[in-house]
Amino acid sequence: MIVSTSGTLAPGVHVLGPAWIPTVLIDAPRPALFDAGFSATGPIYQREITAVLGQRHPEYLFITHSHFDHCGAAPYLKKAFPGLKAAAAARAVEVWRKPSAQKLIAELNAMVIQEMGHLTDESLNLEPWTPFDVELVVDDGQTIDLGDGLEVLCLATPGHTRDCISYYLPQRKALMCSEAAGIAYQGGQIFAEFLVDFDQYIASIQRIRQLDIEIFCQGHGLFFVGRDEVRRRLDAAVDTAHAFRDQVLGLLRQEGGDQARVVELVKQREYDPLTGPKQEELPYLLNLRAKVACLAKAAGF
């Protein structure tokens, strides 16, 4: 089953907020959130978290990586739920300490507010993004106990970013991996999302494929339920990544190594025809330029 809306994926596993920029709530004795979307959507998450948990508060906020659309509401949620502990990789914490990264994250989150006219019936957080504390620095192989035998296993899955951590719950057979295995869109198209290293990205997908997964939560838009559905999704992620690499290398040869021209051509083919919710154009272009540069460098262009 492929799910394209927010709601309950399985008992105790809830997708909250807009499906294209969600947080995932695992209801446990120590409830946990996974990723924090945009700063603007903080009040939406807060309301839906409370609808599930009632008077209880989430205890953990596990963040997959340092990008603006995964840490955006972290400051808001930490204020809304006192005692909420943010968790992330050491490299993500290093990124968030950099003034240049703080400035970019704040600017991109502010830009998003202007793109959310279709959510005018929702109360949005209009306050600027601010840096936040990370109480729990996690590493590959570390486990965190949520109570009643439910654990979160932290898995380093670099490639999209160097700081990318995927979170696996063996007892629920659920994986939250953001863009570690790309992003699938309705209609079957998958965007490969290696921004720093193609080989690491493929290795991370192969690592994920070794897990027993029945609930697969990518970072945006779609959620996959059932072993066969997850297997098809991960197989397609590998195939798509290799096809994208071949396309870009072919265009680099065709255009004499002109990366800007290659970015333009790829955007015309894969992004412009998309309908429905999709990544904002500026962050899409930032990511695409990084992917083209990554491949160009590895190929000697």
Tell me, what's the pLDDT at 118? 59
Contact 93, 164 (CB under 8 A): no
Query: What are the tens digits of pLDDT across the range 224-240?
Result: 999 999 999 999 999 99
Tell me, what's the pLDDT at 149? 96
**Stretch 153-160: mean pLDDT:** 98
Domains of the chain: 2-246 (3.60.15.10)
Contact 204, 158 (CB under 8 A): yes
Calpha distance 73→80 (Å, rounded) = 10
Query: What are the tens digits of pLDDT across the range 76-109?
Result: 999 999 999 999 999 999 999 999 999 999 999 9
Average pLDDT over the chain reads 95
Tell me, what's the pLDDT at 117? 58
Calpha distance 299→301 (Å, rounded) = 6
| Residue 25: band (very low, low, confident or very high) from pLDDT cuts 50, 70, 90 | very high
**Stretch 60-64: mean pLDDT:** 99
Six token digits for residue 165: 């951590």
Tell me, what's the pLDDT at 186? 86
SS3 assignment for the chain: CEECCCEEEECCEEEECCCCCCEEEECCCCCEEECCCCCCCHHHHHHHHHHHHCCCCCCEEECCCCCHHHHCCHHHHHHHCCCCEEEEEHHHHHHHHCHHHHHHHHHHHHHHHHCCHHHCCCCCCCCCCCCCCCCEEECCCCEEEEECCEEEEEEECCCCCCCCEEEEECCCCEEEEECCCCEECCCCCEECCCCCCHHHHHHHHHHHHCCCCCEEEECCCCEEECHHHHHHHHHHHHHHHHHHHHHHHHHHHHCCCCHHHHHHHHHHHHHCCCCCCCCCHHHHHHHHHHHHHHHHHHHCC
Answer yes or no: pTM beyond 0.75. Answer: yes
Tell me, what's the pLDDT at 278? 78
**Stretch 126-130: mean pLDDT:** 94
- Our measurement of the distance from residue 269's CA atom to the centroid of its chain's CA atoms, rounded to an integer in Å, reads 23
Buried b (16+ CB within 10 A) or exposed e, 98-134: eeebeeebbebbbebbeeeeeeeeeebbeeebeebeb
pLDDT at 183 over 90: yes
Contact 212, 171 (CB under 8 A): no
